[in-house]
Structure 1
Amino acid sequence: MAAVGIAVVLGLAALLPTAALPCGALQPDNTTASKLLGTWLYVAGAAQFPQHLLELLLIANGHLQVEPGAGEQELPVPQRVAVGDQCLTNNSTYFEIAVGNTTLVKHAKTHQTVGTLMNLSSEDVLLIQYQLQRERTYLGLYLYARNLNVSTERREELERYAKCLGLSEEIVYAPWKTELCQVRDIEKGNSPCREPAAVVTASPPPGTHRPGSAGN
């Protein structure tokens, strides 16, 4: 089943002003890069528009793998999302870690900002606010964790951020019932996911490659 909503081409994503980030962004220190490394499991998402909530309902599971970069300031972030019977991939984003500044998610080719890491009270969870703009601004909020046993406190924290950003009050949690996009495959460097040349995105996360999409 195809994801519902407007496809967004990351190459056309526009930078949003800092004023569009009213909630607490993560300000890294010298230990942040090492703490981000490794596998993060997709737990839940919140979206701005009803059509994007429908897309979140299609997600069976997902994960991202934060990898060491050439330096500590840029960490590649390969991502996998299982939607229906397909494993969608994205190898085009990275975290920009600048001590004392906001931690950003950037597109590897254009170096444009497509997201921001949010500040949470636990090091075992990762909250990413994506901000994309084409015909109109799109905001999404996605929660990742080291394991799927996310506490009530962390869930409530996600809800508070979603409310702060003006997103829908509905939080969609991934059921994790599919065999696609298994974590052990990406950790072994033997992912079953296919990555075509197309750069058209589905959510989450922005930049995810959809098998069979037309290129830009």
Structure 2
Amino acid sequence: MAAAGVAAVLSLVVLLPATAFPCGALHPQHPDNTTASKLLGTWLYVAGAAQFPQHLLEMLLIDHGHLHVEPRSSEQELLISQHVAVGDECLTNNSTYFDITTSNTTQVKHAKTHQTVGTLMNLSSEDVLLIQYQLQRERTYLGLYLYARNLRVSTAHREEFEHQAKCLGLSEEEIVYAPWKTELCQVKEMKKGNYPCTEPTAAVTASPPPGTHQPGNTGN
């Protein structure tokens, strides 16, 4: 049941297009002719922040995870393979892709419906990835996910992520760092710009990246 719930978190098929954001300091990333090459490869899941109670619970169940981004048929579309370790399973989800041209922003879209489920946001480094999601239920729930090229995420980048989460109205209690206690979803060593290969395991669906916080820590 936990694994199925986590899969639902990252599928998020009933999300609103990310257009207006409640925080003026947080802006969508505008693509250029280098965006696609910068996104390719493997991104490790560091942390997530979510308002929806079920998503927050599911993030607490994730030990580690990563995204693998590779070209699709179109140069403007990049396939996202999400991998996440929950319990003793490594789950995989290939249901989303990056669209780097729509509305002059870089968006995350559902592969079958082409519905916008998230938006790539600006951060101060090309080695970190910040994605904002919006889920519409009885009200609009926001989510923010941080990925990085490696686990050595600087204190400055963690603080920047936490600041952006709080700027969106997400509380400290709604921020969860992935502990990375196990190695179910293995990622081969990679260099920036290369295609890091994931060693096949079961399946992966979550996208929590590894942070430098101690296992089980949330917030600061």
Q: TM-score range by the shorter chain?
A: 0.7 to 0.9
Deviation of residue 51 (structure 1)?
A: 4.0
- Pick aligned residue for 2:188 from 181, 184, 187: 184
Task: After TM superposition, list the pairs within 5 Å mapping 1:1-216 onto structure 2.
Answer: 2=2, 7=8, 10=11, 13-16=14-17, 18-20=19-21, 22=23, 23-98=26-101, 101-170=104-173, 171-184=175-188, 187-188=196-197, 190-194=199-203
User: Partner amino acid for 2:181?
Assistant: K
User: Partner amino acid for 2:74?
Assistant: G
For structure 1, the residue ranges without an aligned partner over 5 or more in a row are 196-201, 206-216
Deviation of residue 159 (structure 1)?
A: 1.0
User: Partner amino acid for 2:96?
Assistant: T
Q: Structure 1 203/167 Cα, relative in aligned 2: closer, same or farther at 3 Å?
A: farther
Q: Structure 1 42/93 Cα, relative in aligned 2: closer, same or farther at 3 Å?
A: same
What is the TM-score of this pair, normalised by structure 1? 0.80
Deviation of residue 162 (structure 1)?
A: 0.4
Q: Structure 1 47/69 Cα, relative in aligned 2: closer, same or farther at 3 Å?
A: same
SS at match of 1:71: coil
Q: Structure 1 83/127 Cα, relative in aligned 2: closer, same or farther at 3 Å?
A: same
User: Partner amino acid for 1:191?
Assistant: P
Distance in 1 (CA, whole Å) between partners of 2:80 and 2:103 is: 21
Distance in 2 (CA, whole Å) between partners of 1:55 and 1:47 is: 10
Deviation of residue 157 (structure 1)?
A: 0.8
Aligned CA RMSD, in angstroms, stands at 2.9
Q: Structure 1 29/192 Cα, relative in aligned 2: closer, same or farther at 3 Å?
A: same
Q: Structure 1 54/77 Cα, relative in aligned 2: closer, same or farther at 3 Å?
A: same
What is the TM-score of this pair, normalised by structure 2? 0.79
Q: Contact (CA 8 Å) 1:130, 1:140: kept in 2 or not?
A: yes
Larger deviation, residues 180-189 vs 102-111: 180-189
Task: Give per-residue Cα distances to partners, 1:45-104, cap 9 Å, x unaligned.
Answer: 111144432221211000000101223210000110111112121101000001881110
Distance in 2 (CA, whole Å) between partners of 1:50 and 1:63 is: 22
Deviation of residue 126 (structure 1)?
A: 0.3
Q: Structure 1 9/135 Cα, relative in aligned 2: closer, same or farther at 3 Å?
A: farther
User: Partner amino acid for 1:62?
Assistant: G
Distance in 2 (CA, whole Å) between partners of 1:47 and 1:147 is: 23
Q: Structure 1 174/163 Cα, relative in aligned 2: closer, same or farther at 3 Å?
A: same
Q: Contact (CA 8 Å) 1:55, 1:203: kept in 2 or not?
A: no
Q: Contact (CA 8 Å) 1:27, 1:101: kept in 2 or not?
A: yes
Q: Structure 1 46/38 Cα, relative in aligned 2: closer, same or farther at 3 Å?
A: same
Q: Structure 1 11/84 Cα, relative in aligned 2: closer, same or farther at 3 Å?
A: closer
Distance in 2 (CA, whole Å) between partners of 1:78 and 1:99 is: 20
Larger deviation, residues 151-160 vs 176-185: 176-185
Deviation of residue 125 (structure 1)?
A: 0.3
Identity score, percent: 72
State the number of aligned residues: 199
Larger deviation, residues 15-24 vs 169-178: 15-24
